[in-house]
Amino acid sequence: MAGLDLERMSVLVVEDSPFIRSLLINSLKILGVGKVVTKDHGGEAIEFIKLVHSDPMKAGLMTIDIIMSNWDMSPVDGMMLLRWVRRHKDSPDRYKPFVMITAYSEPNRVTEARDMGVTEFLTKPFTINAIAEKLTSIILHPRQFVHTKDYFGPDRRRQNLPFDGENRRKLTEESDEVEVIRV
């Protein structure tokens, strides 16, 4: 992984399938991730995130660096978890990198996750190389966060293409509708 030392990194894996959960844990450990914590669904993950924020010693973890979550779980799915992380008043870190994992990679689902503020999208079946690419992207190419009345999350545009017209991405004294946040 391009010489990255991930020994001090902690990843929260939210996955209801024991088999997929095991694959993710083993893949992350092979890549050198120091701490992997798992939860069976989004509701358990939310409670754990709150615990880490309020009592890290009890949680056994000082911080969560990345969340990797399956989309389709019950009773609280990955989209509900993502919505809570990005938009809920009790979320301790709305800027947390979030990788959505799903076997359903139709364009409308990718768009839905993107519009909810997902950082990366990992499709099943995945490889250890695909996981490494997502982690490398999050670490080496972090995206600025954008906050508008309709969206909060990482900048959805990954390319800086030339265009004609007013540059609405640039903040000015009069720009009260868009807030660009670098993390």
pLDDT by residue, tens only, the chain of 183 residues: 668 899 999 999 999 999 999 999 999 999 999 999 999 999 999 999 999 999 999 999 999 999 999 999 999 999 999 999 999 999 999 999 999 999 998 999 998 998 898 999 999 999 999 999 999 999 998 888 888 877 777 876 665 666 677 766 555 556 555 555 555
Residue 111 lies in a domain: yes
Q: Which domain holds residue 26?
A: 10-143
**Residue 123 sits in a domain of what CATH number?**
3.40.50.2300
How many structural domains is the chain composed of?
1
Q: Report the distance separating Cα 51 and Cα 45, nearest Å.
A: 10
Residue 177 lies in a domain: no
- Residue 146: per-residue pLDDT: 82
A 10 A CB-CB count for 41 gives 20
- Residue 167: per-residue pLDDT: 65
The torsion angles phi and psi of 153, rounded to 5 degrees, stand at: 160, -175
81 contact partners, CB below 8 Å, separation of at least 6:
14, 42, 45, 46, 67, 69
Residue 172 lies in a domain: no
Q: Report the distance separating Cα 27 and Cα 24, nearest Å.
A: 5
Residue 156 lies in a domain: no
Residue 149 lies in a domain: no
- Residue 54: per-residue pLDDT: 95
- Residue 176: per-residue pLDDT: 56
Buried-state track 88-126, b at ≥16 Cβ within 10 A, e below 16: eeebeebbbbbbbbbeeeeeebbeebbebbbbbbbeeeb
Residue 155 lies in a domain: no
Residue 173 lies in a domain: no
- Residue 159: per-residue pLDDT: 59
Residue 182 lies in a domain: no
